Amino acid sequence: MTKKRLIINPGLHKTGHTFLNIQLFPKLDKNKICHNPKKITDILQVSSKKKLDESDIKKLSLELNSELEKIEQETILFSFEELYGNVLNSYENFEKINELLFNILQNVEIVLVIRNQPDWILSLYKQYVALNNYVTINEFLNFKNGEFTVKSDKNPYSIHPFDYKFGSMYNTLIQMFGEKKIHILFYEELANHPDDFIQRWLRILNCQIDFTVNFQPVNRSYSALAIYLTLIKGKLFRSVPMNNLSQNTDSAFISKIKSLAKNEKYEFESQSTNNESKLKIYFGRTIYKIAFQFRFLRKLTWRRFIQRYFDRLIYVNWDLMGKKRKILSEYFYHDNLALKPMFPNNEIASFYLMQNNQKIN
């Protein structure tokens, strides 16, 4: 077994993972830290999706440790999304992956960046809509008649919000790896005190940096108004939905306008009357003529339009969660108490410990 220090960051969605893997990790001192060695990362990703028996685990352990010994640096940092599985399936591989890491590697440390559940779930929803899934927030959360219901096969592109118990996840990790091997960091600190957040990472990695970190947002969420307009757009133009929040594919809005403009056969989400079809074709022709007068509009997608232009000029936001926020905050309060030893200060704690809409210190 290798004696190298292995730090694994199983990036949860919408917690700054992309930012870290662009602005921080690749720029660390390469003489001290090896970031995402390709062969080992590929082996871990493939293995995480397989059902392994005892002989497979033993073989995998030998293979990984052999590869690790080839790396000169003493600290190896792995950071990739979906290590624990698909967020829409409640990170179904969480326990399986931890058992795998425990059985095949030594000196493993887990660094998990989390975000308070109501804000995190709202951010997931906004990204989901941005990836061509035209569902309301109530549909996404299976919220009916004033309460959350169990996720059904009839609505696969949704989540069951009560499944994301970060306090329970923390307890599982320390029971398996030991308290000293588990580090919990908070997205709220990245958002409000980014320098402190970076310093916590550097202390974990035992290194310093000689460059300035660019804190410009990498994946900014849509505003509430942009979500509203996107849902309207979804009713007009059919797009291919994505069932994976890590995909970064965007539908070509202009190509759909173009098909309408040429009066080509177009598949609508619901059967349209002749008048509705004529209106859409007229709308398409008009926009097409305007758009193709400007070169930069020819490759414009709806997502680029929202992120680069609309939300920068008109950022109108409101809380789409409504009363659902209070229900979730109160539900997660007791589970989040397990995180108390990890909170760096009362400000961060207040995002996770709230009852009756009152923040608890």
What's the confidence (pLDDT) of residue 92?
84
What's the confidence (pLDDT) of residue 201?
97
**C-alpha–C-alpha distance, residues 87 and 91, integer Å:** 5
Q: Which amino acid is at 23?
A: Q
**C-alpha–C-alpha distance, residues 79 and 17, integer Å:** 8
Q: Where are the domains of the chain?
A: 5-219+324-359
What contacts 184, CB < 8 A, 6 or more positions away? Answer: 112, 113, 114, 170, 339, 342
Q: Give the angle subtended at the CA of 178 by the CAs of 177 and 180, to the nearest 5°.
A: 120
Four-CA torsion 252, 257, 263, 266, nearest 10 degrees: 50
Is the CB of residue 212 less than 8 Å from the CB of residue 195?
no
**C-alpha–C-alpha distance, residues 168 and 184, integer Å:** 13
Q: State which residues of the chain have pLDDT below 50.
A: 240, 242-243, 246-254, 257, 260-273, 358-361
**C-alpha–C-alpha distance, residues 193 and 344, integer Å:** 11
Is the CB of residue 241 less than 8 Å from the CB of residue 131?
yes
Instruction: Give the DSSP H/E element, type plus range, for residue 45.
Output: helix 38-47
Residues 225-261 as b or e (16 or more Cβ within 10 Å = b): bbbebbeebbeebbbeebeebbeeebbebbebbbbbb
**C-alpha–C-alpha distance, residues 355 and 106, integer Å:** 40
From the CB of residue 164, how many other CB atoms can be counted at a distance below 10 Å? 22
* 221 class by beta-carbon count within 10 Å (0-12 exposed, 13-18 middle, 19+ buried): buried
Task: State in words which class domain 5-219+324-359 has.
Answer: alpha beta
pTM of the model: 0.82
